[in-house]
Structure 1
Amino acid sequence: MALDMDQLRRIFYEECRENLEILERELLSLDPDGDIDLDVINTIFRAAHSIKGGGATFNLNEISQFTHVMETLLDEAREGKRRLDSSTIDLFLKGGDCINSMLIAYETNSDFDHVLRDALTDELNKLLDSGRADKASPVVADEPEPSTARELEGDGDWIVLFTPHKDMFFSGNDPVRILRELFELGVHCNVECLTDALPTLSEMEPEMCYLSWRITVEGHIDIALVEEIFEWVEDECDLAISRTQKEPDEALDVTASSAEAEPVAPKPATAAKPAAKQAATKSDAVSSIRVEIDKVDNLINLVGELVITQSMLTELSQNFSESKIERLQAGLDQLLQNTKELQESVLNIRMLPISFAFNRFPRLIRDLSAQLGKTVELVIEGEQTELDKTVLERITDPLVHLVRNAVDHGLELPDVRADKGKSETGRVSLYAYHQGGSIVIEVRDDGAGLNKERVWKKAIEKGLIHQDTSLDDLTNHQVYNLIFAPGFSTADVVSDVSGRGVGMDVVKRNIEDLGGHIEVDSEIDVGSVFRISLPLTLAILDGQLVKLADQVFVVPLISIIESIQIESERVKVATGGVELYRLRDENIPILRLKEEFGLGESGALDKQLLCLVEASGNRVGLLLDEMLGQQQVVIKSLESNYTRVNGVSGATILGDGSVSLILDIQGLMTGFLSRVADTNSHIAA
């Protein structure tokens, strides 16, 4: 099996990002003023160590050289020679960001900010130099760190017995590279190749390593420099180092046990830049999911069951007779059951805990708190709640915007909070939980809350509502929804962090594009709650099939409240010709879908079907010709295969092979209620 270096490199990219997440998470967990947790320091060191080593293995020299300086500082911290204060932690966090930007550059064959990298390297070196008692020269990024490891007693030469495991090549490591590094130490080395384990030619596998080496190194060198060269392959070889005058039983065994090892690559004369302007784009980066082995095993078992059922049906199809009908029906039922289980298993593989999105917020809160002069506590609950990977990726940016708003304009300054009798430490909370077939995410703050009167005045000022609209004419929900209007903001001064309302229209649109909706609750001096409801997956939808003229459409079941036959006496016509249906003391606007899609005239409303749907707290009745059955449908993107169509979120293929459009309830309602608002000079939904 040939080694696929591109695949190995992609695996490193994934593992590097995981280590960067560990680095950031553990740095944020440190208390600069409290007792130092050595386990946390060691975890941070191992993450940096692995990043540095992997970068060197794949010749990503910008990453390995930069991380080497960070690793040196961390090594001093874990040895108790340096304390990680708040400013040092901040510097390490910036360093992690810099490594991530370099990683993206390598992935996409693009460039990164070399000026920023050099400036951070200088800061790290100054910090390293300031902490040394002897004020030695700072560590530069492309030179090995002077070792402080112990020397073995004696004056003889070093004897290194290096026996790679047979499968070493499969990890991308090469013994020749290790030996070359040894020679670069600048001391005399005598290398003897041992061929005792070499099989006959007929038994040899060309991708296995059968050789080992006995290396004699001049004894005046620090043993730690020799050890460092072999660190990256510690768990892929048998290694023993001893002095020539020592007895064999006193040999130093440094056989590896740690997985966080460090590779050593030949050091180039000049650091290569990752940006050889090639025709590569960000699409080169591969999106992937790490899947638990139990999920994969379950999937394989289900495929096996499916194959058995298929074989049974194939056998029945041969010389089919009426006597086999019962067995055929049983086989089809089994096929249906297998298909359902397979579908659920595949969807389960795509499900990830929302902690993947929540994990970035401790860092965000820390940075914003320092920038704004506020003390903020972050509370996270329900981080193991799972949702589809696609939804998870697309909800992250809206959540970031909401959290930034909560800290910047939701929470008051400490002295203001103290004057109100509140704790000087503000609180931002993130909650996630399942509700029905959806996932609900709440962003809460215990800040000043939204001022209804102020929002109302701003809306009139910007022409979002008619000048004659009084505050008493609007419900709390209608007032709070105004902050999602494009360009709306109550901030007196627009900061570089956020402005409550600035960009909130984009937040709402992004959430609605996912088939979700957002609601706002607020109370003066108590705080605000932004509640987001999202579908668990974008791949499959529980739908209600409905008929308009001769076409079948799909209405998402999650949007449907109830369906009724219209009683004509309950229908009223409001100003501007808008039809309203009176149901349980509520006037519900009627949307004639036939006319909306240009499929003809609906005619008189008497005895027609009205399907009540809800989105973002608003209700509308959809006028239908006929309601058919309910079924799960596989969603196909209309935008990527054709173009974006207003009121349509996607398409699906029905059992008879026909294509059916899936209605975008939120989009339909937004357009319809906006027209109603324009007609009546009233508020838009």
Structure 2
Amino acid sequence: MTIDISQFFQVFFDEAEELLAEKERLLLAVDIAAPDAEDLNAIFRTAHSIKGGASTFGLNDMSEVTHILESLLDRIRKGEMALTSEHVDAFLAAKDILKMQLDGHRLGTPVDSDAVADVRMMLQSLSQDAPVQAMAPAAPSFHAPEAKAVDHEGGQRYRLELPKMELREVNALSAELGLLGQVSVAPLDGERHVIVVTTHESLDDIVAICSFVLNPDDMQVSVAPPLTPQQRALEQAARNEVENALGYGFFDPIEPFSPAQAAKGDAEQGYGFFQPIEQIRALSAEPSDAERGYGFFQPIEEIRASAGIVAAPREAAAPAARSEAPAEAEADKKPAKKDGDKAAPGAESSSIRVSIEKVDQLINLIGELVITQAMIEQRADTLDPMVHERLLNSIGQLTRNTRDLQEAVMSIRMMPMDFVFSRFPRMVRDLAAKLGKKIDFITNGAATELDKGLIERIVDPLTHLVRNSIDHGIEMPAARAAAGKSEAGRLFLSASHQGGNIIIEVSDDGGGLNRERILAKAQQQGMAVADSMSDAEVWQLIFAPGFSTAEAVTDVSGRGVGMDVVKRNIGAMGGSVDIRSAKGFGTTISISLPLTLAILDGMSIRVGEEVYILPLGYVIESLQPAPEDVKEISGKGRVVKVRGEYLPLIPLYQMFDIAPRFTDPSQGICVILETEGRKAALFVDDLVGQQQVVVKNLESNYRKVVGISGATILGDGGVSLILDVTALIRSSRQLADESIFS
């Protein structure tokens, strides 16, 4: 019987990527001058976990790199070597190599073997440096005696007498210890087992691995002198006979069991994995532990006493050993505890992995449910509320439950912005070092949630903005000092909710945008500009294709590619970009995005015979203006006065060339909209109502239509278009007789 482990590869890939991200976060946050012991242990655990998983799945290239990395980290965390910035750089480089190897196995991307060799050589060179006792050694836990008894193979032998455990846990522990050396397992009385490990690793490492599965206090550890040749031959012969007889449960026995043996219970047969202890003792002619060679093991307490070593109390040693277990493992594999400390069975895991395809399918089904519920509501409007009171109450309850269900399902796709923000500390650190700048990177609102689909698409635009702030915004240390600023510039990345949108801002305290330089460059490129342009209009020029004010082209910036892509990508997500800048004080670029593109609250409006949907997040109010509040501006269209403020009037019927019921704004309805900090009044015939709508992608099913962001299905089965409010307000500068399609 064989087990197909290919089904578990994706789980390993996901977990390894999370561990690599955690490792990078810890390395960037570590204090090199005075590193915290727990931080060093956590970094070590990430490397150890990746190494174990890679070895299990046969990914030898990854396990070889992590083995060298793990050894170096182990020396640092034990205080045998001082942590330096050179170490951190090497560990970050190793993280990049492991990510490249991981992508190679998962995606089939090429792996640079020269880069792998360079990093391995770098780590080995650092490992061979003379140890520096710069850190106080940790308190001793389980220490092997100073005078080690080593066999001819060069390894130390440890005997681990385990408490009563399930067989699968014993097998898992022996497999993990097998990564450290040679392992043999034998049963004891009372459903207990003993594991003998021959290894060059320290006893602390062995105890640390055991703490994944059990409480080290429940395990008896002893050290053995080397076996005599006769004992070694006898032990090997016994092991060979047992392996040939049982095949460890994967092969049929060479000789079938007799009927008497077959009649014995599972416990006596060892569940198919172990031969009964009586047969093992008979085969090896060793009826007792002493005769099987275990009499040569001296209790570790006696060895320490004879060597003059004072053993640390178990109560003090246990926490040091248990600290080696990663937080991730503690969530899934709790060490065995005393009866009074047992956790509830349901508290072992708080999350499960679900493929995004299943979540998308669930969201699509919820969308269809919302449409069906809208249809039922519309048909129920024609019923007599007195006659069908109970039916209408049930429909109202269905509406509330549908909305709660929709909100709960939509929250599954929501992810914290930390998923995006966590990518930037490393980039800021490397780019600042490359440019010779000092930058303090500060984030805020990392817990703010955004739809997963939008999070994946916002990474590239934010990357462009952060790189531009580092390269163009923040000055060199000498220039900052001359301007009376601190040598280290500040780069802020924040996210917050505002109505139905999320606002993401990239801010720096650098020199700000240079208005004169931007205008001069725009004139040089033949763009239509004027000195009378407002600052906001001048700042928008940097989003023009091919626009760049960099004096030299570098691998960081200067080719005029990036900012136009930023605006185009954000516009494709239904968002907008706004710039605020003050010369000498810095620049803030603000991105506004809808929280989700799947389901939204909308206001139904009517123009002629057509019904459109306005996203409710943009709507401030609706009103019917008085005739004297509507003014005509020569060559600029009409405006409407709302509480002392004149707003541009957007006649929707002219935008889409349809026949309206009213052409006089005082007879229709004006809906006040706001986006990108600007307001406008949308002139429509009538308001139909407010409802939830399921957004259908119009571009993938038809083509992109200017002024339209999507479509939806109404309660009567008809299709209604969802208006792109940002495009409509920008179009308000056109003449009244122009169409948005011109």
> What band does the TM-score fall into relative to the shorter chain?
0.7 to 0.9
CA distance in 2 between counterparts of 1:525 and 1:165 reads: 68
Counterpart of 2:412 in structure 1 is: 349
Query: For the Cα contact (< 8 Å) 1:53–1:261, is it kept in 2?
Result: no
SS in 2 for 1:224: coil
Counterpart residue type for residue 626 of structure 1: D
CA distance in 1 between counterparts of 2:400 and 2:124 reads: 63
**1:53: how far off?**
1.2
Greater mean alpha carbon deviation, residues 524-533 or residues 253-262: 253-262
Identify if the C-alpha distance between structure 1 residues 11 and 132 changes in structure 2 by more than 3 Å, giving closer, same or farther. same
Among candidates 619, 638, 641, match of residue 698 of structure 2 = 638
SS in 1 for 2:201: helix
CA distance in 1 between counterparts of 2:445 and 2:173 reads: 47
Q: For residues 410-436 of structure 1, what are the alpha-carbon distances to aligned partners after superposition, in whole Å with 9 as ceiling and x for unaligned?
A: 011111111111111111112222223
Identify if the C-alpha distance between structure 1 residues 327 and 6 changes in structure 2 by more than 3 Å, giving closer, same or farther. farther
CA distance in 1 between counterparts of 2:547 and 2:735 reads: 21
- Larger gyration radius, structure 1 or structure 2: 2
Q: For residues 370-397 of structure 1, what are the alpha-carbon distances to aligned partners after superposition, in whole Å with 9 as ceiling and x for unaligned?
A: 0110111122222222232223222222
Map of 1:156-555 to 2, 5 A cutoff?
A: 159=159, 166=166, 168=168, 185=182, 221-222=198-199, 224=201, 235-236=212-213, 242=222, 243=224, 244=294, 245-246=296-297, 259-260=325-326, 325-466=388-529, 469=530, 471=531, 473-499=532-558, 502-555=561-614
**1:620: how far off?**
4.5
CA distance in 1 between counterparts of 2:20 and 2:178 reads: 30
2:209 is equivalent to residue 150 of structure 1: no
Counterpart residue type for residue 553 of structure 1: Y
Identify if the C-alpha distance between structure 1 residues 216 and 229 changes in structure 2 by more than 3 Å, giving closer, same or farther. closer
SS in 2 for 1:463: coil
Counterpart of 1:141 in structure 2 is: none
**1:240: how far off?**
5.7
Q: For residues 91-130 of structure 1, what are the alpha-carbon distances to aligned partners after superposition, in whole Å with 9 as ceiling and x for unaligned?
A: 2112212212222222223332222222222222222223
Counterpart residue type for residue 118 of structure 1: A
Counterpart of 1:281 in structure 2 is: none
Query: For the Cα contact (< 8 Å) 1:565–1:608, is it kept in 2?
Result: yes
CA distance in 2 between counterparts of 1:223 and 1:88 reads: 25
Query: For the Cα contact (< 8 Å) 2:601–2:690, is it kept in 1?
Result: yes
2:22 is equivalent to residue 22 of structure 1: yes
> Unpaired runs of 5+ in structure 1?
134-147, 198-211, 264-284, 292-298, 314-321, 680-685
CA distance in 1 between counterparts of 2:176 and 2:30 reads: 36
Counterpart residue type for residue 92 of structure 2: L
Counterpart of 1:77 in structure 2 is: 76
Query: For the Cα contact (< 8 Å) 1:352–1:386, is it kept in 2?
Result: yes
Among candidates 633, 636, 639, match of residue 581 of structure 1 = 639
Q: For residues 242-300 of structure 1, what are the alpha-carbon distances to aligned partners after superposition, in whole Å with 9 as ceiling and x for unaligned?
A: 4333467969999995544999xxxxxxxxxxxxxxxxxxxxx9865999xxxxxxx9x
Query: For the Cα contact (< 8 Å) 2:52–2:176, is it kept in 1?
Result: no
Q: TM-score, normalised by structure 1?
A: 0.74
CA distance in 1 between counterparts of 2:301 and 2:402 reads: 63
Greater mean alpha carbon deviation, residues 64-73 or residues 612-621: 612-621
Counterpart of 1:89 in structure 2 is: 88
Q: For residues 512-551 of structure 1, what are the alpha-carbon distances to aligned partners after superposition, in whole Å with 9 as ceiling and x for unaligned?
A: 2222222111111111111222222222212111223333
CA distance in 2 between counterparts of 1:400 and 1:76 reads: 36
Query: For the Cα contact (< 8 Å) 1:480–1:520, is it kept in 2?
Result: yes
Among candidates 648, 652, 674, match of residue 614 of structure 1 = 674
> Unpaired runs of 5+ in structure 2?
133-141, 152-156, 225-293, 304-313, 330-352, 377-384
Q: For residues 58-85 of structure 1, what are the alpha-carbon distances to aligned partners after superposition, in whole Å with 9 as ceiling and x for unaligned?
A: 2222222212211111111111122222
Identify if the C-alpha distance between structure 1 residues 616 and 180 changes in structure 2 by more than 3 Å, giving closer, same or farther. closer
Counterpart residue type for residue 579 of structure 1: G
Identify if the C-alpha distance between structure 1 residues 326 and 676 changes in structure 2 by more than 3 Å, giving closer, same or farther. closer
CA distance in 2 between counterparts of 1:216 and 1:563 reads: 80
CA distance in 1 between counterparts of 2:90 and 2:358 reads: 30
Counterpart residue type for residue 11 of structure 2: I
Counterpart residue type for residue 583 of structure 1: K
**1:597: how far off?**
3.6
Q: What is the total number of aligned residue pairs between the two structures?
A: 587
**1:37: how far off?**
1.8
Greater mean alpha carbon deviation, residues 457-466 or residues 236-245: 236-245
**1:637: how far off?**
2.3
Counterpart of 2:41 in structure 1 is: 42
CA distance in 1 between counterparts of 2:492 and 2:679 reads: 29
Q: TM-score, normalised by structure 2?
A: 0.69
Counterpart of 1:648 in structure 2 is: 708
Identify if the C-alpha distance between structure 1 residues 600 and 646 changes in structure 2 by more than 3 Å, giving closer, same or farther. same
**1:595: how far off?**
4.6
Counterpart residue type for residue 584 of structure 2: D
SS in 2 for 1:544: strand
CA distance in 2 between counterparts of 1:454 and 1:421 reads: 23
Query: For the Cα contact (< 8 Å) 2:45–2:325, is it kept in 1?
Result: no
Identity percentage of aligned residues:
41
CA distance in 2 between counterparts of 1:508 and 1:673 reads: 20
CA distance in 2 between counterparts of 1:401 and 1:464 reads: 23
Counterpart of 1:111 in structure 2 is: 110
Query: For the Cα contact (< 8 Å) 1:10–1:286, is it kept in 2?
Result: no
Identify if the C-alpha distance between structure 1 residues 418 and 234 changes in structure 2 by more than 3 Å, giving closer, same or farther. closer
Identify if the C-alpha distance between structure 1 residues 460 and 558 changes in structure 2 by more than 3 Å, giving closer, same or farther. farther
Identify if the C-alpha distance between structure 1 residues 534 and 178 changes in structure 2 by more than 3 Å, giving closer, same or farther. closer
Q: For residues 582-637 of structure 1, what are the alpha-carbon distances to aligned partners after superposition, in whole Å with 9 as ceiling and x for unaligned?
A: 43576655544445445457884453444343333444444433321112222222
Query: For the Cα contact (< 8 Å) 1:231–1:262, is it kept in 2?
Result: no
CA distance in 2 between counterparts of 1:675 and 1:11 reads: 55
CA distance in 2 between counterparts of 1:230 and 1:650 reads: 60
Query: For the Cα contact (< 8 Å) 1:488–1:502, is it kept in 2?
Result: yes
CA distance in 1 between counterparts of 2:164 and 2:419 reads: 38
**1:331: how far off?**
2.8
CA distance in 1 between counterparts of 2:167 and 2:403 reads: 41
Identify if the C-alpha distance between structure 1 residues 605 and 49 changes in structure 2 by more than 3 Å, giving closer, same or farther. same
Counterpart of 1:142 in structure 2 is: none
Query: For the Cα contact (< 8 Å) 1:450–1:523, is it kept in 2?
Result: yes
Counterpart residue type for residue 50 of structure 1: S
SS in 2 for 1:130: coil
Query: For the Cα contact (< 8 Å) 1:381–1:430, is it kept in 2?
Result: yes
2:657 is equivalent to residue 663 of structure 1: no
CA distance in 2 between counterparts of 1:657 and 1:84 reads: 67
